[in-house]
Amino acid sequence: MITAVIFTIHFIFTLVIFTKKWQEENLSAGFINIALIAILFTVGWSISGMIAKLIMEPKGLGVQFDRDTFSLTLLTLGEFFFYRLYYGREPSKEAIEAGKEKLL
């Protein structure tokens, strides 16, 4: 069940980023961001799976929180902080205008 929630969170996040990039830039930017998220998810899950294999047994901490769920949880935490930096808040119009004034 925890695994399904994590996959659902990733799916919703992917849809939100696709829609945001599609509306702000163009359709190809949306697809490129989907590809980025998919690649980071698959590579990150492999890496977090290796880390989880070093830390815990296959049965994990119970029926609902096995080693695979633990590795997905590690991945989600890492992705949260990475995407927070990568897709951080857009600068406000005032900040952009202030930056232009400094250049002049």
- For the stretch 15-70, pLDDT in tens is 999 999 999 999 999 999 999 999 999 999 999 999 999 988 878 787 788 888 99
Domain coverage including residue 44: 2-103
- 4, pLDDT greater than 70: yes
pTM as predicted:
0.78
In this prediction, residues 77-87 reach a mean pLDDT of 92
CA 33 to chain CA centroid, Å, is 11
Query: What is the model's pLDDT at position 50?
Result: 94
Query: What is the model's pLDDT at position 9?
Result: 95
Burial level of 57, CB count in 10 A (0-12/13-18/19+)?
Answer: exposed
Query: What is the model's pLDDT at position 60?
Result: 75
CB atoms within 10 A of CB 71: 23
Structurally, how many domains does the chain consist of? 1
